[in-house]
Copies of this chain bind each other. A is one copy, B any other.
Amino acid sequence: MPRKWSSTLLCTALLATLGVAHAAGEDALPGAKPRSMQEILDASKPGDWRTPDAKNLIYLDLDSGRVLIELAPAFAPAHVANIRALAKNGYWNGMSVNRSQDNFVVQWGDPAQEDKDRKPLGRGTKAKLPAEFARKAQGLAFDKLPDVDGWAPEVGFVGGFPAGRDPAADTAWLAHCYGAVGAGRDVAADSSNGTELYVVTGQSPRQLDRNITVVGRVLQGMELLSVLPRGTGPLGFYEQPSQRVPIKSIRLASELPKKERTSIEVLRTDTPLFNELVEARRNRRDEWYKHMAGHIDLCNVPLPTRAPPAKPVAEPKAKAKAKAKPRSARAGRAGSTSRK
């Protein structure tokens, strides 16, 4: 939120907000000085990052670019199986984003209004799926945040996904944070089939948690979805077919030759480094901040991604390092780009 964005005081506020803050100007012992988010990321080791399984990675290709979605079979196995089959069948190719509602969601699928006009789901798919709103918490590695949350007894991360947990009921579920991908349904809990998918583009609508099946989240490309013109029909549906946003294709990464895949690494959420990063955002220590929040909301925790660093094959060590560094700077929220 800088007033002058090219002065020497440039952008401290937002550099801080983005975790690329100056080091804190504190008088603490050198060893005790908290690191900024950028310093933490720069110090990350290869093991702090993970490469999403290509079988869980969906490419939504629009005219404006590619959106990367990671599926969550640990929470929605039946939906994920259907979505994989639908992608293999090319089900969505040539369909469209039909809805963009401000401060809420975008949604795509078959725009046909009558069942008889709808495209067949194709082979390997199921017409009917169970509700997968929550699952047993037992046996699930849950990296709990210490921060209070009004929507869930506990919040944290499961394999990189923001999640809620109720120890008393032994349930866990994926949270509707920015970038969450869910499966639209009718009134019946088991009325979703994975063909109509929505993505959260607004203030986290956590009231949907435990009410609908979340199938994954956007890792990269949110800025392609969040800018789609808001539909002027009820619920943000586009009133004219010509307003719909064409989908070139939705494909499973594992179905594509390697050279057509988009390389991406995601910061692990089960490491000491991640905990340090969360703390750097919970209490911002750079000089721009005058008040430390002492808190972070589940949906404000950054989930950085990056292009995999170049491998230092036959290159001199120093050169390889210099190459890798700038590419590790993809700090930001789900779906952020390297420019954020």
Contacts and interface: CB of A to CB of B under 8 A. Distances in A.
This chain's copy number in the assembly: 2
Interface string A223-234: 100111111111
Interface in A231-280: 231-237
A325 interface: no
A147 B149 CA distance: 10
A233 B7 CA distance: 16
A150 B298 CA distance: 10
Contacts of A236: 339-340
Contact of A222 (B102, B109, B184, B290): B102
B3 A102 contact: no
B1 A107 contact: yes
B210 A150 contact: no
A205 to B, nearest CB: 7
Nearest to A113: B6
B11 A289 contact: no
Interface in A170-219: 177-178, 182-189, 191-193, 195-196, 198, 202-212
Contacts of A237: 5
A237 B11 CA distance: 11
A299 interface: yes
A237 B45 CA distance: 31
A219 B196 CA distance: 31
B148 A150 contact: yes
Interface stretch (A13-21, A27-35, A135-143, A309-317): A13-21
Interface of A: 1-7, 9, 11-15, 17-18, 98-99, 101-105, 107, 109, 113-115, 131, 133, 147-151, 177-178, 182-189, 191-193, 195-196, 198, 202-212, 222-223, 226-237, 281, 284, 287-291, 293, 295-297, 299-300, 332-333, 335-337, 339-340
